[in-house]
Structure 1
Amino acid sequence: MVNWPRNNPGVAADWEKGIAFFDSEIAELAANDETAAYEAIRFAIAGMGGRTTNLELGFADALARAAALGLRVVRNGAERFTPKDFDGE
């Protein structure tokens, strides 16, 4: 699992690394253990932000649940979502 750094200034290449991490490690984890994938997503979101109030924790929880469900739907053949006017940068 990636240990997310706090207050990471980041570089442009990190965009692709983040996508690749989700598309490979998290998707594979979800295929084997959806709860573990949910926990990894939740931890990453809460850990990156550096805030752990109930507001942020509740949002991270709901987003992780939706992501785990979305990964299940994609595994079952649904097309991946791409926002309109998205240029990937």
Structure 2
Amino acid sequence: LHAHLVDEHAEEVKIYVDETVGKMVYELNCPLCDEGVKQPLPKRAAILEEYKREIRMVAFDLLLYHLQDIHDDSNLIQLK
């Protein structure tokens, strides 16, 4: 499932430099509600470029936990 999400929906995970904190971050919002995750990344942008796939996998993993914890199964059908 994680590989599918990264391969087919990678653009949903935004990876960019957040000027307010001066660090590279990843951000992913829930498609069912207003919640999302925004995490600073500990390494420099040049180093992180080679880890974008793994960063996206972590972001989608957090989204899956959110969907499982917050949204019941009937709402998950909307994602298909």
Does the alignment reach a TM-score above 0.5?
no
**Which interval holds the TM-score relative to the shorter structure?**
0.3 to 0.5
Q: Name whichever structure is richer in strand by fraction.
A: 2
Q: Name whichever structure is richer in helix by fraction.
A: 1
TM-score by length of 2: 0.39
